[in-house]
Amino acid sequence: MPAGSTIVAVTARQIFSDRGHPGVEATVTTQNGAKGTAVVTAGISVGEHEVEFAYDGGKKWNGRGVQKAVDNAINIIGPKVIGLDATRQMEVDEAIIKLDGTPTKSKLGGNATGSVSAAVLQAGAASLGIPLYQHIGGVNATTLPVPGVISITGSGRYGSGKRSGGKPSHSFMCYDFDTFSDASYAAWTVSNEFTRLLKVKFDLETRNNWGVVSAGLVKHDRELWDLKTEAIKNLGYEDKVGIQIDVAAGTYYEKKKKRYVGLFSAEEKSTDDMMRLYEEMVANYPIVILEDPLDENDYEGHAELTKRLGIEIVGDDLFTTNPDRLQQGLETGAANTMLLKVYQIGTITEAFEAVQMAYSAGYGVMPCDSRGEGYHIADYCVGLNTLHLREGGTGPVANRFLAIEAELGPRAKFAGRSGIKGLDKPQVVKK
């Protein structure tokens, strides 16, 4: 055991998350005074197969208070992991998993188990005096990923999508550049250009504003893809910047009707209708990534779509960072990339197991910080060599990437086109 890496304290508290609702913040301290602090929050849209979070219920915080999860972290998980070695992540997580004893973390709550597990990982790195990305990936952790920048989000689209959590969301992916710094600048530039075009066409001042939909200014998301494509062309970024759409299609799927209602336009659509629409989209726009393009239980449909389109298809609600669900996807050929939300499965070890399973099958991994990972998602990306992530081109996450890039110096590499599945051929911009 490295000197001083023994866990001596576990604390936790309820905090405000960046989403505005309560989250769990856990802190783990080691014998040599090193600390790791991790935050776990609920996402905006949550797949039905994710682990369960512990909530307080009642009227306070609209039932979403997390003091129960905080108490579980302090009083139940803490005593079990104190005395263990923070640099031996698997042993610590095995103790947490055994303590909960359920496949969905329903006893202690995935927000309790995940926050302590991630805090242990950070404390382990700190106790060794090394960066988190190096603790995860060792000397091979040198590649900076392709970043994205979100451009527009919103719910209640075309009379539906009230459970969508703001989806579909659209992002620009900046892939064909020499360095992360260059890609980050492109993300900033194309985001500003798109905002300018929104102002010109729709008189909208605010980025990420779905007023164009709620006010009935557009009849189909196609009008937004036109505008995004125009922004790319105006800056000379053809075949350098592409479009990613996090569809979250399952939140628009009405099982009784077997139709997608209000997705991309007001018309109800069958699965075949969606297939044809996606083919049209990929043929006419620089779309490089589609996330959860069909219902989260439609493995066969995702498999067929992956074959037809030849671009990156990401499973988020489809896989939920869950090795069992990912295995089902591998067996059917559904999607070709797993979205990584570190706290979606309940412990670091289980999340990393899913990552290695994806890599072994030739799938990609696309991290996302929507469960409270924050700027630490940058270290996960570099440490796990994920080659790209959702967003991260600007803001605090980008700042962390820029710091890592500077720290690595000449050893830093940028993933470039290899970071996105299907970019072995040029993207055609027809509009």
DSSP assignment of 312-365 = EEEESTTTTT-HHHHHHHHHHT--SEEEE-TTSSSSHHHHHHHHHHHHHTT-EE
Phi-psi map region of 47: left, alpha, beta (phi>0 left; psi -120 to 50 alpha): beta
In 44-88, which ranges are continuous DSSP H helix? Answer: 67-71, 78-81
Does 309 share its domain with 347? yes
pLDDT of residue 143: 98
Beta carbons of 303 and 334 less than 8 angstroms apart? yes
Cross-strand partners of 34: none
Domains contained in the chain, number: 2
Could you read off the pLDDT of 158-205 as tens digits, one per residue? Answer: 877 777 777 898 999 999 999 999 999 999 999 999 989 988 988 776
Does 121 share its domain with 164? no
- Other CB atoms closer than 10 Å to residue 358's CB: what's the count? 26
| Mean pLDDT across 304-310 | 96
Does 151 share its domain with 122? no
Query: Does residue 427 lie within any of the structural domains?
Result: no
DSSP 8-state symbol, 261: -
Asked if the model's pLDDT at residue 157 lies above 80, the reply is: no
Does 71 share its domain with 173? no
pLDDT of residue 77: 98
DSSP 8-state symbol, 63: G
Query: Does residue 425 lie within any of the structural domains?
Result: no
Does 115 share its domain with 183? no
- Other CB atoms closer than 10 Å to residue 154's CB: what's the count? 18
Could you read off the pLDDT of 57-113 as tens digits, one per residue? Answer: 999 999 999 999 999 999 999 999 999 999 999 999 999 999 999 989 999 999 999
Does 230 share its domain with 362? yes
Does 286 share its domain with 351? yes
Does 105 share its domain with 181? no
Give the CATH number for residue 375: 3.20.20.120
pLDDT of residue 205: 67
Does 222 share its domain with 92? no
Beta carbons of 147 and 393 less than 8 angstroms apart? yes
Closest CA to 268 of 276, 280, 259, 278: 259
Q: Is 21 helix (H, G, I), strand (E, B) or coil?
A: coil
Residues in CB range of 207: below 8 A, 6 or more apart: 151, 152, 191, 194, 195, 198
pLDDT, mean over the chain: 92
Name the domain boundary from 129, 151, 185.
129
The strand pair at 337-340 and 35-40 is best described as unpaired
Sign of the CA dihedral 400, 406, 409, 414? positive
Range picked from 249-258, 283-292, 422-431 for highest mean pLDDT: 283-292
Residues in CB range of 63: below 8 A, 6 or more apart: 55, 56, 57
- Structure token digits, residue 162: 């009230």
pTM surpassing 0.85? yes
Could you read off the pLDDT of 255-284 as tens digits, one per residue? Answer: 999 999 999 999 999 999 999 999 999 999
Query: Does residue 291 lie within any of the structural domains?
Result: yes
Does 391 share its domain with 272? yes
Which residue range(s) make up the domain with 412?
A: 137-419
- Other CB atoms closer than 10 Å to residue 178's CB: what's the count? 9
pLDDT of residue 43: 64
pLDDT of residue 2: 66
Confidence of residue 153 (pLDDT cuts 50, 70, 90): confident
Taking the CA atoms of residue 79, residue 99, residue 23 and residue 40 in that order, the dihedral angle to the nearest 10 degrees is 110
What ranges make up the beta strands (E) of 200-273? 241-246, 253-254, 259-260
pLDDT-above-70 percentage for the chain = 93
Q: Considering only residues 317 and 372, tell me which one the structure prediction assigns the higher pLDDT.
A: 317
Q: Is 282 helix (H, G, I), strand (E, B) or coil?
A: helix
Q: Could you tell me the CA-to-CA distances from 21 to 54, 67, 70, 346 in Å, in that order?
A: 14, 13, 15, 19
Residues in CB range of 176: below 8 A, 6 or more apart: 239, 240, 241, 416, 417
Query: Does residue 424 lie within any of the structural domains?
Result: no
pLDDT of residue 12: 98
Written as one string, the DSSP assignment of 81-125 is: HTTSBTT-HHHHHHHHHHHH-STT-TTT-HHHHHHHHHHHHHHHH
Name the domain boundary from 129, 161, 186.
129
Asked if the model's pLDDT at residue 411 lies above 60, the reply is: yes
The strand pair at 241-246 and 364-367 is best described as unpaired
Does 247 share its domain with 303? yes
Q: Is 131 helix (H, G, I), strand (E, B) or coil?
A: coil
Query: Does residue 269 lie within any of the structural domains?
Result: yes
Query: Does residue 171 lie within any of the structural domains?
Result: yes
Query: Does residue 102 lie within any of the structural domains?
Result: yes
Residues in CB range of 10: below 8 A, 6 or more apart: 26, 27, 28, 29, 73, 74, 77, 78, 81, 82, 116, 119
Task: Give the span between the Cα atoms of 140 and 401, in whole angstroms.
Answer: 16
Query: Does residue 321 lie within any of the structural domains?
Result: yes
pLDDT-above-90 percentage for the chain = 79
pLDDT of residue 431: 46
Name the domain boundary from 129, 154, 183.
129
pLDDT of residue 50: 77
Could you read off the pLDDT of 9-55 as tens digits, one per residue? Answer: 999 999 998 777 899 999 999 999 999 999 998 866 555 677 899 99
Asked if the model's pLDDT at residue 226 lies above 90, the reply is: yes
Number of H helices, E strands in the chain: 14, 15
Q: Could you tell me the CA-to-CA distances from 422 to 236, 237, 288, 308, 309 in Å, in that order?
A: 21, 18, 8, 12, 9
Give the CATH number for residue 54: 3.30.390.10
Does 175 share its domain with 83? no
